[in-house]
Structure 1
Amino acid sequence: MGKRESVTWQTGSLSLHDRLHKLGQVPMTLWFTGLSGAGKSTLAFRLERLLVERDILCVVLDGDNLRHGLCQDLGFDAESRAENIRRVAEVARLMNDAGLTVLAAFISPLAADRTLARQIVGAERFHEVFVNSPLHICEGRDPKGLYKKARRGELEHFTGIDAPYEPPLQPAIRLDTSDWSIETCLGSLMAEVQRYRARDCGESE
């Protein structure tokens, strides 16, 4: 479905530069990808706490949470997953434009969908975080009991069981949550945030 000719992008008198200067923010999107049970949401919410404590305004976009509202009409087939990621990326871009740092925690199993998210958010702002934990570890954790349901055939299109996961080839950060502690992972994430902020606004790491 194409854009209607009557739809025009509206701009206000407050520029993005003015907004970011007022907030003292350098917005970015950390996109957490990995298998169910790898630790994406856990790390995103823990990182949110650390960033807020440093006066960095941020928000977590969690896959399960958004499927309760914005994406509740979508299934888990490839087409629906692609649309899910597209919507989330558009929200992340708008939040970045408002000055917020976004922590997006989504399985996002296909490389093409993550590439689209990068294009929407903007390559400079988009930082791909591969939460890397092997299938057998994630299945052993199974905090929501989803792997058991998938093995019994009660869930279709479940990533790692009957749907593929394409690991990022060159993520900004690779976190081995099968071996690293949460604190070690958070240290790597904070370092990435600090590098980006230092590059764009001259902060000292």
Structure 2
Amino acid sequence: MKQATNITWHEAAVTKNDRRSQNGHGSCVLWFTGLSGSGKSTIANALSQNLYRERISEYVLDGDNIRHGLNRNLGFSDEDRSENIRRIGEVAKLFVDSGTIVATAFISPFRKDRDAVRSMFEDGEFIEVHVHCPLAECERRDPKQLYAKARSGEIKDFTGIDSPYEEPDAPEITIRSDQLSVEEAVKEIKQYLIDRRII
């Protein structure tokens, strides 16, 4: 696809800091990464509910939901996975600019892709949340029966089975979802946001 060259960035009249000031809190992306079944979406949505109750501007971008619309033309090859993450990074950046705390729940298996998204943000705006859960436990849970389909050969290039997952080297937050309840995980993430004076 040929990239357009006759475009110019238009500076907005209302800035990110203006929106943050009006909201009364900061904005950031909480980038949830982990194996399928680790609990990324569950924790992200529980956090969203918690922040919403406190009138904090928030939103969740979920992997499956995004593939129904914005990224429905992408498959699961390494190249498509990278493009999937790049697009989500760009969308997340817009949410952060709007003064919103956005949680993204994607496997995002490759470090280089996550690092590329991190580079889009200012310091402190990209918070990598590694939802760590052993593969055996994720397979035991298998909420969407994806592992069973991958093991039977119905699904190809499935992360953790026949496609790699590269764990983060130094995530801002690690949630061991086989050891913590959803409520405990939310409390830990909120405390991080409080300590960094984002909320």
TM-score (norm 2): 0.95
Alignment-derived partner of residue 92 in structure 1:
92
Alignment-derived partner of residue 56 in structure 1:
56
2:105 paired with 1:105: yes
Q: Distance in 1 between matches of 2:57 and 2:158?
A: 33
Say whether the 8 Å CA contact 1:82–1:113 is kept in structure 2.
yes
- Per mean C-alpha deviation after superposition, the further-off stretch among 8-17 and 183-192 is 8-17
| 2:196 partner SS | helix
Segments of structure 2 that go 5 or more residues without pairing to the other structure are none
* Mapping for residues 8-157 of structure 1, pairs under 5 Å: 8-157=8-157
- Report the alpha carbon displacement of residue 119 of structure 1 after superposing the two structures with TM: 1.1
Say whether the 8 Å CA contact 2:150–2:158 is kept in structure 1.
yes
State the Cα deviation string for residues 169-201 of structure 1 (Å, max 9, x = none). 111111111111112111111111112226xxx
Q: Distance in 1 between matches of 2:151 and 2:67?
A: 23
- Report the alpha carbon displacement of residue 3 of structure 1 after superposing the two structures with TM: 4.6
Say whether the 8 Å CA contact 1:89–1:121 is kept in structure 2.
no
One-letter code aligned to 2:107:
I
One-letter code aligned to 1:16:
K
Say whether the 8 Å CA contact 2:17–2:99 is kept in structure 1.
no
* Runs of 4+ residues over 4 Å off in structure 1: none
Q: Distance in 2 between matches of 1:166 and 1:146?
A: 19
Say whether the 8 Å CA contact 1:48–1:59 is kept in structure 2.
yes
Q: Distance in 2 between matches of 1:5 and 1:148?
A: 46
Q: Distance in 1 between matches of 2:16 and 2:106?
A: 27
Segments of structure 1 that go 5 or more residues without pairing to the other structure are none
- Report the alpha carbon displacement of residue 24 of structure 1 after superposing the two structures with TM: 1.8
Q: Distance in 2 between matches of 1:152 and 1:122?
A: 44
One-letter code aligned to 1:72:
R
RMSD: 1.4
- Report the alpha carbon displacement of residue 125 of structure 1 after superposing the two structures with TM: 0.3
Q: Distance in 1 between matches of 2:94 and 2:25?
A: 14
Q: Distance in 2 between matches of 1:15 and 1:183?
A: 34
Say whether the 8 Å CA contact 2:29–2:125 is kept in structure 1.
yes
Number of equivalent positions? 199
One-letter code aligned to 1:97:
D
| 1:120 partner SS | coil
